[in-house]
Structure 1
Amino acid sequence: VFHSIFLDYNILGGMPAVVKEYIERNTFEGSLDTQKQLIADYKEDIRKYASGIDQTRILKVFHRVAPQLARENKKFQITKVASGARFRDYRGCAEWLVDAGMVNICYNMEFPELPLLGNYNPDAFKLYFADTGLLVSMLDDESQEDLRANKNLGVYKGALYENMVAEALVKQGYKLFYYKKEDSTLEEDFFIRSTASLIPVEVKAKSGRAKSWKR
């Protein structure tokens, strides 16, 4: 029962209008339309409040959050946003989305040790939707239908679980950090600080012991 409810939460997220639609109908029918309307509202806010040429660039970044989360390497790559895209041209776009409350940002740590705020690369990060249900609404139509009809998470299982954990950590007041180096097999999905301790958080879409971090 818990697993079924957990899957429902992954599909719906926690936006009040979406949850209300689900409770009233006791079905996923209609929830997607509500989610898509929320996404449309977000896009309209970008067009309304972002200035000048940044509008187009911010929208491109917003559209690429879901596809990049589906990749094994979830680091957000500006070069994948558009043909010929350069990081310096998109500087500040991700932060704009964070400030608007649309996405959460997770920075790559230079070293897996404290302090967190003085120990990360501001140009290397992962992006997560602030609400996991909105991530679902940004997936391709086939994946959305499979999720709602069969609760089959498919290739997006890892992305959905990781987004859900990121969302939960942010709501608990944590800032998001991860660790991954290109020349090392050592990596961790998230690091959070508890008093004087650095706590690794491993997200596993499948059962079994984590292999990426020796504790």
Structure 2
Amino acid sequence: MYRRKCYEKLLIWKRESKGKSALLIEGARRVGKTTLVRAFAKNEYADYLYIDFSAASPATLELFRNHREDVDTFLRMLQLEYGKQLKRRDSVIIFDEVQRFPLAREYVKHLVEDGRFDYIETGSLVSLRKNIADIVIPSEEDRIELNPMDFEEYLWACGLDIYADEIRRARASLQPLPDNVHAKIMRLFNEYMLVGGMPQSVEAFIEEKDFGGCDHIKRRILNLYLEDITKFGGSDARRARAIFQAIPGQLSASSKRFKFSTLGRGVRYEGCEAALDWLADAHIANMCRLCTDPNVGLRLNEEESSLKCYMADTGLLVSLAFADGPESLSVHRDLQFGRVSVNKGMLAENVVAQQLKASGHSLFYHTWSEPPLSDDKKPRPREVDFLITQPYSDAGNKLRICPIEVKSTKSYSTVSLDDFRPRYEKRVGAEYILHPKQLQSSGHRQYLPLYMAHCL
């Protein structure tokens, strides 16, 4: 198993819950949930019992249906069914793909109350209405989201821990890395944008050192997602599928805001809201909402109908955006060698959204207009790509708004960021520009290499 940051969250849950709550790990298909929990169970417990509800026997399902009234009998029969004799308070029972059998999720409440074992659930599409319609969601359930690998996890998977450590050191000290090291890590970051953070894709690239194999894996995952939308999307399936396939085209536009009118005549946000929620609940798209008045508590001023829709994994975005054959191969070459024929802007913004989401940030952006320079001129539009909140040392470590601008080329302007602080004054903390160039710091503003996005 590749080293995942989520493993530390599982350790914290085990230490702090002491069997008083179950843990639900949700995330997209093929993101590594099963591998993670089985490794955790093997390493951290004396024994474990694993139930995969996508392949569970009829006898197992009957236990949940007909023997729930007596936990003692249920657990005895379950252990007999799997040939296990679990050690009390040092064993865990795993419910994998729990969305396929919601009754097991509901029963977790009584199993946790019994207290003799720990319980971990995993699932994709867990929150869909059809999977929770007829059950009582257990209050004794903590939740963790597993995302695709961020860049730091990718470096760990490649055995390049030394670079991951140096990136953290440079970020903490605000001292740039040597030019040759910076260039090497930027090449690795461009590689990561192509490979993405889906564990199977990463594994294929590490084994073959070639983009062909991992591209094949990613296309298989994309087909799986499209099949899931068709199978589980219900009345929202057609619209969800259209939105999902439109993401590359929307991100390649200059504003990157999703224009619902492109989906068909008369299509508006209201008609797409349920489909957008489906894609977000499936963890295959990241929604970045407009914050109309930046302040601590970004969600208080959220305008849901104005949004950017990012792919949850940038590697999947590359494979969705570009067709098989020579065109796809040229994309890989252009990105690796820094050519500008590819719209690297959409990939850079998507990969930053992916890193921020993996770090626990909700995604927000902000737009406004500055007054015209003269009466015969138009108002001057401004946009900040992302907003996050962080403690700010110049304000006694109180939370402040931190604007983030993403630049995919070495030549750029910063007019929006220049106008942001004067407009919002004391609300604003550090300002970040993520770009391909070296790290530098000037007053409130930090210019960070793109490969430091996961450090924010």
TM-score range, shorter chain: over 0.9
Instruction: Name the SS for the 1:154 alignment partner.
Output: coil
* Code of the aligned partner of 1:48: K
Distance 2:199 2:241 in 1: 24
**Could you tell me which residue of structure 1 aligns to residue 250 of structure 2?**
68
Please say if residues 70 and 155 of structure 1, whose CA atoms lie closer than 8 Å, have aligned partners that are also in contact: no
Q: Which residue of 1 aligns with 2:358?
A: 171
Letter in 2 for 1:200: P
Deviations along 1:21-77, whole A, 9 cap, x unmatched?
11111111211111110000001111121112x110110010111110000011111
Is the alpha carbon distance of 1:36 and 1:198 closer, same or farther for their aligned partners in structure 2, counting shifts above 3 Å? Answer: same
2:343 equivalent to 1:147: no
Corresponding residue for residue 45 of structure 1: 228
- Asked if the contact 1:146/1:153 (under 8 Å) is kept, the reply is no
**Percent of residue pairs bearing the same amino acid type:** 31
* Conservation of the 8 A alpha-carbon contact between 1:128 and 1:163: yes
CA contact (8 A) 2:334 2:341 kept: no
Aligned CA distance change for structure 1 residues 35 and 73 (closer, same or farther; 3 Å):
same
- Of residues 14-23 and 204-213 in structure 1, the stretch that sits farther from structure 2 once superposed is 204-213
Cα deviations by residue, 1:114-141 (Å, 9 ceiling, x for unpaired): 3201011011100111110000011132
Deviates more, 1:193-202 or 1:170-179: 193-202
How far has the Cα of 1:172 moved from its partner? Answer: 0.4
Give the distance between the partners of 2:364 and 2:239, measured in 1 at CA: 24
Q: Aligned pair 1:200/2:407, yes or no?
A: no
Distance 1:197 1:184 in 2: 26
| C-alpha contact 2:366 2:383 (8 A) present in aligned 1 | yes
* Displacement after TM superposition at 1:181 (Å): 3.4
Q: Secondary structure at the match of 2:310?
A: strand
Higher RCO (Cα < 8 Å, 6 or more apart)? 1
User: Taking structure 1 as reference, are residues 153 and 97 closer, same or farther at Cα in structure 2, changes over 3 Å only?
Assistant: farther
- Aligned amino acid, residue 223 of structure 2: A
**Cα displacement (A) at 1:105:** 0.6
Residues 51-200 of structure 1 mapped to structure 2, 5 A cutoff: 51-52=234-235, 54-141=236-323, 143-151=327-335, 152=339, 154-181=341-368, 184-195=380-391, 196-200=399-403
8 Å contact from structure 2 (residues 314, 350) kept in 1: yes
8 Å contact from structure 1 (residues 143, 154) kept in 2: no
Deviations 1:146-172 (A, max 9, x none): 222332463421100000100000000
Which of 24, 30, 34 is residue 213 of structure 2 equivalent to?
30
SS of the equivalent of 1:101 reads: coil
Contact 1:60 1:82 in 2 (8 A): no
With structure 1 as the length reference, what TM-score do the two structures score? 0.93
Larger Rg: 2
Distance in 1, Cα, partners of 2:311 & 2:200: 17
Distance (whole Å) between structure 1 residues aligned to residue 340 and residue 288 of structure 2: 23
Q: Is the 8 A contact 1:147 1:153 kept in 2?
A: no
- State how far apart, in whole Å, the 1-side matches of 2:210 and 2:315 are: 15
Q: Distance in 2 between matches of 1:163 and 1:148?
A: 17
* DSSP 3-state at the match of 1:194: strand
- Rounded to whole Å, the distance in 1 between the matches of 2:345 and 2:266 is 29
- 2:407 corresponds to which letter in structure 1? K
- Aligned partners of 1:181 and 1:148: how far apart in 2? 36
TM-score where L is the length of structure 2: 0.45
- Aligned partner letter, 1:210: T
Structure 2: which 5+ runs fail to align? 1-183, 370-378, 392-398, 422-456
- CA–CA distance in structure 1, aligned partners of residues 403 and 212 of structure 2: 38
The Cα shift of 1:144 comes to 2.6
Q: Which runs of 5+ in 1 are unaligned?
A: none
Indicate the larger mover: 97-106 or 179-188: 179-188
Question: Which residue identity does 1:71 align to in structure 2?
Answer: A
- Which residue is 1:18 aligned to? 201
Q: Distance in 1 between matches of 2:334 and 2:273?
A: 40
Contact 1:104/1:127, CA 8 A, preserved across alignment: yes
- Residue 210 of structure 2 aligns with an amino acid whose one-letter code is T
CA RMSD of aligned residues (A): 1.7
**In structure 2, what is the Cα distance between the partners aligned to 1:82 and 1:34?**
31
* 1: CA distance, partners of 2:186 / 2:268: 42
Counterpart of 2:351, as a letter, is M
Cα offsets for 1:70-104 (capped at 9, x unmatched): 00011111111234423322222112101100010
